[in-house]
Amino acid sequence: MSLVLSEEQELIQQAASEFLKEQTPITHLREMRDSEDPVGFSKALWKEMAELGWAGIPFSEDVGGAGLGLAELGVIVEECGRTLSPYPFLSSVVLAGGAIALGGSEAQKQEILTGLCKGETLLALAFQETGRFSPWAIGTKAEKAGDGFRISGEKLFVLDGHVADHLVVAARTSGSSGEENGITLFLVDPSTQGCTVTRSSMIDSRNAARVALSDVTVTSSAVLGEVDRGAEILNAVFDRATAILSAEMVGIISEVFERTVTYLKEREQFGVRIGTFQALKHRAAEMFCEVELAQAVVLDALRALDEDRPHASRVVSAAKARCSDAASLITCEGLQMHGGIGMTDEEDIGLFLKRAKTAELSFGDAAFHRDRFARLTGF
């Protein structure tokens, strides 16, 4: 597939750009933050986005989805990156929704994905237990109990966990922490006895939660996919999430870069516009190259996953490493070039810095993905 947008993708991009600039400019995130909104985004707006077909983009038509790919979803999420829109594409659509689409039974898909596509059901994937991304470091235990399972453990950084109607919980049915085998995915209703969800306050003012599970019992119909083989689903889901998060980062770095170049052209010091200084010119030109490289590799990563290419995971790692490094460079440079004003809460650049850092450290930072790339290439 080509690295330029198709006509359909361009239409999606236009619609997303207009809608998000209108409905969720950065002031929207600020309002949610300053009012300590208990949800963190507007459920009504999410319903509107779903009605535009966005929540169902990657799902099949029989559950109400659009049957499109990550390439199309990436176009929307990139625009979310430009406006810092805190909507649950990653948590509900890609992570938990993706796990259900890949591993769920027909009944599970009909029951949950239909509501997701309508914008009525919110989901979250509870897998992480350590700070640094380490996908198989799962100690949460699920033991056989009657005809079901009893789950105990604690999950961190569960994206949108505080508002999820259903949790997908990764727990260990065999093996020990660090092993890829022995993980099972369960659908858990967060209101079940023993399940406590506490919202975390994060630098990006977005939504994550801590989920404590204390002898939470579920029936065997809550198993997603096969017992002990949850990692197969998670591997695919993490690849998709990593690529989609990279698309959001492309939106972030493009926006920060453009704002910074505009600032260099306008701001005057020492009697001249600061964009005349070669020290800043060269750094701006380097940032331009970083943005171009990130855009190209992310487009290819999304397409590689959609086409189920044999080495798609390699491109995904290249994309995430590139975006993580570029996001760090560009948001730090953007802030530096904005000078003192960049340090103020009033200026948006700091909000981009915080969101970029969150994205950088999620689903593996640049070093994690260089290691993964090396392994996948055989060295």
**Beta-bridge mates of residue 272:** 269
**Contact stretch for other proteins (CB under 8 A) within 78-86, 99-107, 227-235, 306-314:** 306-314
- Please count the other Cβ atoms lying within 10 Å of the Cβ belonging to residue 11: 12
Q: Which is nearer to other proteins, 49 or 304 (CB)?
A: 304
In the stretch 1-40, what mask flags binding to other proteins with x, by CB under 8 A? -xxx------------------------------------
Interface residue with other proteins, options 276, 341, 343, 344 (CB under 8 A): 276
Q: Which is nearer to other proteins, 6 or 174 (CB)?
A: 6
Interface residue with other proteins, options 29, 122, 188, 284 (CB under 8 A): 284
Residues between 40 and 69 that touch other proteins (CB under 8 A): none
**Beta-bridge mates of residue 126:** 169
> Hey, what are 230's tokens?
């949850």
Q: Are 48 and 20 within 8 A, CB to CB? A: no
Task: Determine if 293 is a binding residue for other proteins (CB under 8 A).
Answer: yes
Shortest distance, CB of residue 108 to other proteins, whole angstroms? Answer: 28
Residues 6+ apart with CB under 8 A from 104: 112, 113, 224, 225
Interface residue with other proteins, options 288, 339, 343, 345 (CB under 8 A): 288
Task: Determine if 309 is a binding residue for other proteins (CB under 8 A).
Answer: yes
- Site residues, other proteins (CB under 8 A): 2-4, 261, 264-265, 273, 275-276, 278, 281-282, 284-286, 288-289, 292-297, 299-300, 304, 308-311, 314-315, 317-318, 321-322, 367, 370-371, 373-379
